[in-house]
Amino acid sequence: MKFIKVFLQIVVLYIFYIVGVWLSDRLHLPLPGSIIGLLLLWLTLMFKVCPVNWIESGANFILSYLPLFFIPATVGVMNYFHVFAGKGIFLILIVVLSTLITMAIAGYTSQYLAQREETKRKELKSWKERL
């Protein structure tokens, strides 16, 4: 039964992808259909049109196999070894710096959002106490 539930949830996610591709083609949008589908999924989750439990297990299943999707891209880079030859130290420096920048931005963003949520919660609590 769990297999069927995960399968149906993956089908729901795939439908969002298909709708995004269709919209991208029909409206001649400069964004890829997969990104449009992701935005549609985000909007439906945000406005609670599609509850999280409709896609949660399927999304977790797909995410557990996500690293496998990067293997072909990594192997494909080996076809362009001549481009990267002799630039190893620069590539390592770029990877380390971009990782640190990404971690810093993600950390500051999550702290900001958590602080904003805490402020809203305190304001709501004080508002309820006044009533």
* Tens digit of each residue's pLDDT (9 = 90 or more) over 67-110: 887 787 777 777 888 877 888 788 889 989 999 999 999 999 99
Nearest by Cα to 6 from 66, 14, 21, 67 = 14
Contacts of 21 (CB under 8 A, 6+ apart): 33, 34, 36, 37
- Enter the tokens of residue 106: 């993600």
pLDDT on residue 26 = 96
Q: Distance between CA 72 and CA 79 in Å, rounded?
A: 11
Q: What is the mean pLDDT of the segment spanning 120-126?
A: 87
- What pLDDT does residue 1 have? 85
| pTM beyond 0.85 | no
CA contacts within 13 A on the Cβ side of 73: 5
* Extents of the domains making up the chain: 1-64, 74-131
Neighbours of 131 (CB within 10 A): 4
| Residue 82 token pair | 């001549």
pLDDT of residue 89: 86
* Angstrom distance (rounded) from CA 5 to CA 58: 8
The alpha-helical segments, DSSP class H, found in the chain are 2-27, 33-46, 56-64, 66-77, 81-84, 88-130
| pLDDT one-digit tens code per residue, 16-58 | 999 999 999 999 999 999 999 999 999 999 999 999 999 999 9
Going by pLDDT thresholds of 50, 70 and 90, the confidence category of residue 130 is confident
